[in-house]
Amino acid sequence: MSGELLSIVVPVYNEESVLPALFDRLEALAGGLDLAVEILLVSDGSTDSTNAQIRAQIDLDPRYHGILLARNFGHQAAVSVGLERASGDFVAVIDGDLQDPPEVIRDLLARVRNDADVAYGVRAKRKEGWFKRSLYATFYRLLRRIANIPIPLDSGDFCCMRRCVVEAMLQLPERNRFIRGLRAWVGFRQVGVSYERSARFAGETHYTWRKLMRLATDGLFGFSTLPVTLMQGLGFIISMVSALVAAVYFGWYLIDSQRFPTGFATLIISMWMLAGLQLLFLGFIGEYLVRTYDESRRRPAAIIAEHLHSVRDL
């Protein structure tokens, strides 16, 4: 053993059908490493037998710790809580649905111990429907083009980081967290490791379209000023076009006032268009204001109901 410690943060939500296989694969991984391992299972308000299975596993294996959140605060909040409680020299993050293979953590750890501070998984293949794959690919490429920082393509929260990177991320106080964006923002030496993402092991995904849209919104508004820039650009263009049209109509009126069109329909259409743009822009501004207000309240990302340890740790 090297004397170093690897913390593996695993957010889970109603994963009762997946946990037995997850435990087996994590234990096989830990047994093949030359350093100590702690596994932090963060239950994000699970309502099935997930919490009971976590308790039972902790009694069997002292390497496991359970963090039970008081309610469902969301995946990103659960990951954040896990990072706060992790104590390892290296910290890996992996979802509990087994779409990301735990065995790849060995490759990520090797890169971090060798030539990087962060090694993140890059999804070379995804065993998901074509529509969802296309949507993800479009989102990541759009976000990369408009973000203020280079966010890696086709990567999620699956990664392994040195302690210094985790400490840097924990200094960032925002409540609306986009972990992969924060990881990119702090910098350090970062490398991607390609792997094939599996289909979900069992059960159904808990990342609904609503949650995916919220995650995309966090990425857009948290790491890009495009909405404000778009408002400014469109406002300028509309102003210039309006001034040009007004000048043309005024000249027409001076030249031939008898044949000058009244343009009632044009007026109505223009008013509706401008009203729609104003509402859209107010929505952008409102989103920024809500986020600013949300941050000003300084509420924690999540509330921990219980932190479970093995009795053998006491």
The amino acid that residue 55 corresponds to is R
Is residue 14 a part of any domain in this protein? yes
CA angle 181, 182, 183 (to 5 degrees): 90
Query: Percent of the chain, pLDDT > 70?
Result: 60
- Together in a domain, 111 and 237: no
Is residue 217 a part of any domain in this protein? no
Average pLDDT over residues 123-138: 65
Structure tokens at 135: 């949507």
Exposure string of 120-144, with b = 16+ CB inside 10 Å and e = fewer, is: bbbbeebebeeeebeebeeebeebe
How many domains does the chain contain in total? 2
pLDDT at 108: 93
- Together in a domain, 135 and 194: yes
- Together in a domain, 248 and 121: no
| Among the ranges given (77-91, 118-132, 178-192, 258-272), the one the predictor scored with the smallest mean pLDDT | 258-272
pLDDT at 314: 44
Is residue 219 a part of any domain in this protein? no
- Together in a domain, 305 and 258: no
- Together in a domain, 235 and 202: no
**In angstroms, what CA-CA distances link 102 with 20, 23, 60, 313?**
14, 10, 20, 25
Average pLDDT over residues 289-294: 67
Which alpha helices (DSSP H) does the chain contain, by range?
19-31, 50-60, 75-85, 104-114, 130-146, 163-170, 179-185, 209-223, 226-255, 264-296
For the chain, the C-alpha Rg in angstroms (whole number) is 25
Is residue 21 a part of any domain in this protein? yes
- Together in a domain, 238 and 157: no
2 touches 188 (CB < 8 A): no
- Together in a domain, 199 and 242: no
Average pLDDT over residues 134-161: 71
Q: pLDDT tens digits for 248-281?
A: 766 766 676 566 555 654 666 567 667 666 766 7
- Together in a domain, 154 and 25: yes
pTM passes above 0.85: no
Residue 311 has pLDDT above 60, yes or no: no
Residue 203 has pLDDT above 70, yes or no: no
Is residue 214 a part of any domain in this protein? no
Residue 306 has pLDDT above 80, yes or no: yes
- Together in a domain, 141 and 26: yes
**Burial class, 188, CB count within 10 angstroms (exposed 0-12 / middle 13-18 / buried 19+):** middle
Is residue 287 a part of any domain in this protein? yes
Is residue 221 a part of any domain in this protein? no
pLDDT band for position 179 (50/70/90)?
Answer: confident
Q: What is the spatial distance between Cα 44 and Cα 216, in angstroms, rounded to a whole number?
A: 20
Give the residue numbers spanning the domain of 258.
Answer: 226-296
Is residue 304 a part of any domain in this protein? yes
Q: What is the spatial distance between Cα 95 and Cα 187, in angstroms, rounded to a whole number?
A: 23
- Together in a domain, 174 and 263: no
pLDDT at 9: 95
- Together in a domain, 182 and 248: no
Query: Percent of the chain, pLDDT > 90?
Result: 28
13 touches 43 (CB < 8 A): yes
In degrees rounded to 5, what are phi and psi of residue 116? -145, 160
Q: pLDDT tens digits for 120-129?
A: 998 876 565 6
CATH number of the domain enclosing 117: 3.90.550.10
| Beta-bridge mates of residue 120 | 159, 192
Q: pLDDT tens digits for 23-72?
A: 999 999 988 888 999 999 999 989 999 999 999 999 888 999 999 999 98
pLDDT at 115: 85
Average pLDDT over residues 187-213: 70
Average pLDDT over residues 172-177: 78
- Among residues 63, 67, 219, which one has the least CA distance to residue 145? 219
Residue 175 has pLDDT above 70, yes or no: yes
Give the three-class secondary structure for 154.
Answer: coil
pLDDT at 174: 77
pLDDT at 23: 93
pLDDT at 289: 72
- Together in a domain, 30 and 107: yes
Give the three-class secondary structure for 4.
Answer: coil
